[in-house]
Structure 1
């Protein structure tokens, strides 16, 4: 499964793969695998990404088109 939304969020934030991988404390190679879908994203990493981008895991994985969190 390709995770286009994490790539879109990263580029919208003007971050390189290297920068976001450093923020997440993972290698750039691992992050690249997540974006291309060649490796599944662990739930812990989905939580970190959702928190960083202030969005939901449902948005990240394509279950909703609503980026905003409900409070």
Structure 2
């Protein structure tokens, strides 16, 4: 049986797509931080190691984030700055990818 914390990280993605360059739309579920960074990285055709190097993270540290670990504040800022997306969007607090632009 799954522990409650593992259960809360499971989301159902029936059809996710990128919509109007503003946000990912997922019918049947909500995209979490790890899914957002995975999709952003794959959209740029980067490996985990390549992306980690570009933003100054260890490969293992980045892998852990894609597997569900939450980032430290400074790493969250590095990722948001690299992709030019808002921290709130990365963390799932808004569906507006560019909320930081005002």
Query: What TM-score does the superposition give when structure 2 sets the normalisation length?
Result: 0.62
- What is the RMSD of the two structures over their aligned residues, measured on CA atoms? 1.5
Query: Partner of 1:55 in structure 2?
Result: 85
Aligned residues: 70
Distance of 2:49 and 2:79 partners within structure 1: 15
Name the structure where strand makes up a greater proportion of residues: 2
Q: Do the aligned residues in 1 keep the contact of 2:57 with 2:75 (CA within 8 Å)?
A: no
Structure possessing the higher relative contact order (Cα contacts under 8 Å, 6 or more residues apart)? 1
Query: What TM-score does the superposition give when structure 1 sets the normalisation length?
Result: 0.86
Query: Partner of 1:29 in structure 2?
Result: 60
Runs of 4+ residues over 3 Å off in structure 1: none
Name the structure where helix makes up a greater proportion of residues: 1
Unpaired runs of 5+ residues, structure 2, are 1-8, 10-31
* SS of corresponding position for 2:45: coil
